[in-house]
Amino acid sequence: MAAASRPRASKAESFVDNKRKEDIRSANINAGRAVADAVRTSLGPKGMDKMISTASGEVIITNDGATILNKMDVLQPAAKMMVELSKSQDSAAGDGTTTVVVLAGALLRVCQSLLASGIHPTVISDALHKSCYKSVDILTAMAVPVELTDKDSLVKSASTSLNSKVVSQYSTLLAPLAVDAVLSVIDPEKPEIVDLRDIKIVKKLGGTVDDTHTVNGLVFDKKVSHAAGGPTRMENANIAVIQFQISPPKTDIEQSIVVSDYTQMDRILKEERNYILGMIKKIKATGCNVLLIQKSILRDAVTDLSLHYLAKAKIMVIKDVERDEIEFVTKTLNCLPIANIEHFRAEKLGHADLVEEASLGDGKILKITGIKDMGRTTSVLVRGSNQLVLDEAERSLHDALCVVRCLVSKRFLIAGGGAPEIELSRQLGAWAKVLHGMEGYCVKSFAEALEVIPYTLAENAGLNPIAIVTELRNKHAQGEINAGINVRKGQITNILEENVVQPLLVSTSAITLATECVRMILKIDDIVTVR
């Protein structure tokens, strides 16, 4: 009797509770979608801007997806992945940071309905992976090759990037400026690689964005040291970048020396003077007449006494050059940084025709022009009427520079305005019919998800999204590959003729990064908190 009442240990009847896994998955998906919805309204040329107020009371007005998400304080781990997603798009392509998050949000929405239909996450994930590869092939087939000599195309793509920003009315000025800046720093030996650290953006308050210009030379947002009446303008300058201090030495350990005798005090002061004079004589002997001194944290880089002697020797002094600027400065001036007075030699100096201080707005800047054997670098001086516009102009310019950099590394252009997404959606939909079983069903859903970009573009422009997207589908079905939404006219036109173009790299990296992120979120079925 006892044996009969015992439950049968049968493998078939064991019950596994899947509720928790489903809850975690849907919580993650909802968190990711919430982040995507937050930035969705700022997509496209008619997108809205976000005003971000930080804890410290600082206010930022921006349209850049990466900046918005970066400043958001996101706690949910899956939502953090969306923030990382826009960061990686920012570093990979520089533009399309909002697009990538909106795409990921749409894919997550589709995955949620597929999961609700009872499809296993791994199946969905594999189908996503295949669709992603197929999408990149379709996009590459659509792309138009571009040459770097064709400056018009480069300017068009840079201005497309700028059109969705706060400073869009200045795109006619900023786009050619970005193209010239990037083309001037390309090294002929490595034509594929552009290092944006070779382009220095200096912000100066005052004026309007119209006054932004490139400077063929170096610009510092600093004044020349006026302390002892030294020169503020120097022609035929021999420039030294030094990393040591022109001030009396300190003891290595924290200690105080008590001097009770007046003769000894005189001796100390005399020694200090001789020490500094000795250094300045060595500097003067090489023919150097402009000194750029690195900011020092250990002791004062210069003292009043050394400034006085430098002024007497007719040497111009610019102090507090930031440590991370040193590499850029030495590359531009084609000189070597000098770390010790003993290494101060004439061959380590840079040469320029003119170093002068110029008044700009309410402050002053330092310009070094006519540099001999100048390195492949360029400086852009950005102006703006207030700090918010200035910061946003810098971010927009950075995006435009990134777009040109994309075109240099992968020389293909593709239409904008939702055209590639609709074309992908159409071709993936056709491909899904060929596939068998679950896979075809999943791919079809992803094809529908891609329509979120044109839908959102139309929605943000105040058009009727359903009518616009339907018409767009119809045009593409008739074989007009480059038909897209013309937001300005509020209708469908051939978007290539309207000069709305973007680099291929922006679109392909947006799709690959978004699918990768969504696949990762799908695979998570539990969150373990470790205290």
Rounded CA separation 504/475 (Å): 22
Rounded CA separation 319/366 (Å): 12
Rounded CA separation 380/364 (Å): 16
User: Among the options 62, 67, 97, 330, which is catalytic?
Assistant: 97
Contact 98, 47 (CB under 8 A): yes
| pLDDT confidence of residue 3 | 52
In 461-498, alpha helices (H): 465-477
User: What is the strand order of the sheet 412-415 is part of?
Assistant: 144-145, 412-415, 501-503
Contact 62, 83 (CB under 8 A): no
Average pLDDT on 262-288 reads 89
| pLDDT confidence of residue 165 | 85
| pLDDT confidence of residue 443 | 92
Average pLDDT on 156-184 reads 88
pLDDT tier at 9, thresholds 50, 70, 90 = low
| pLDDT confidence of residue 105 | 93
Q: Which domains does the chain have, with CATH numbers?
A: 15-145+414-523 (1.10.560.10), 147-206+381-410 (3.30.260.10), 217-373 (3.50.7.10)
For residue 227, pLDDT over 80 is answered with no
Is 67 a catalytic site residue? no
Average pLDDT on 418-427 reads 91
With tokens 């990149």, the residue in question is 136
CA-based diameter of the chain, in Å?
113
pLDDT tier at 31, thresholds 50, 70, 90 = very high
pLDDT tier at 431, thresholds 50, 70, 90 = very high
Is 211 a catalytic site residue? no
Which of 412, 397, 337, 408 shows the shortest CA–CA distance to 185? 408
Residues of the chain above pLDDT 70, percent: 97
Average pLDDT on 227-253 reads 83
User: Among the options 98, 332, 456, 515, which is catalytic?
Assistant: 98
| pLDDT confidence of residue 1 | 52
Length of the chain: 531
Q: Is the C-alpha dihedral spanning 222, 226, 230, 231 positive or negative? A: positive
Mean pLDDT of the chain: 87
For residue 102, pLDDT over 70 is answered with yes
pLDDT tens digits, one per residue of 295-353: 877 777 888 888 888 888 888 888 888 888 899 999 898 898 998 888 888 888 889 99
User: Among the options 64, 90, 95, 391, which is catalytic?
Assistant: 64
Rounded CA separation 200/288 (Å): 25
Contact 316, 232 (CB under 8 A): yes
Average pLDDT on 183-204 reads 86
pLDDT tier at 109, thresholds 50, 70, 90 = very high
For residue 493, pLDDT over 80 is answered with yes
Torsional class of 516: left (φ above 0), alpha (ψ -120 to 50), beta (otherwise): alpha
Is the pTM of the predicted complex or chain greater than 0.75?
Answer: yes
pLDDT tens digits, one per residue of 360-380: 877 888 899 999 888 889 999
Which of 485, 416, 384, 387 shows the shortest CA–CA distance to 173? 384
Is 97 a catalytic site residue? yes
| pLDDT confidence of residue 208 | 87
Which residues are within 8 A (CB) of 102 and not within 5 positions of it... i.e. 6 or more apart? 36, 39, 40, 43, 452, 453, 456
| pLDDT confidence of residue 508 | 92
- Rg of the chain over CA atoms, in angstroms? 30
| pLDDT confidence of residue 346 | 87
For residue 231, pLDDT over 60 is answered with yes
pLDDT tens digits, one per residue of 432-471: 999 888 889 999 999 999 999 999 989 988 889 999 999 9
For residue 2, pLDDT over 60 is answered with no
Rounded CA separation 419/453 (Å): 9
| pLDDT confidence of residue 364 | 86
Burial class (CB in 10 A: 0-12, 13-18, 19+), 156: buried
User: Among the options 399, 456, 493, 508, which is catalytic?
Assistant: 399
Rounded CA separation 517/515 (Å): 5
Is 198 a catalytic site residue? no
More confidently predicted of 64 and 5: 64
For residue 267, pLDDT over 70 is answered with yes
pLDDT tier at 58, thresholds 50, 70, 90 = confident
More confidently predicted of 16 and 131: 131
pLDDT tens digits, one per residue of 198-219: 899 998 888 888 989 898 889 9
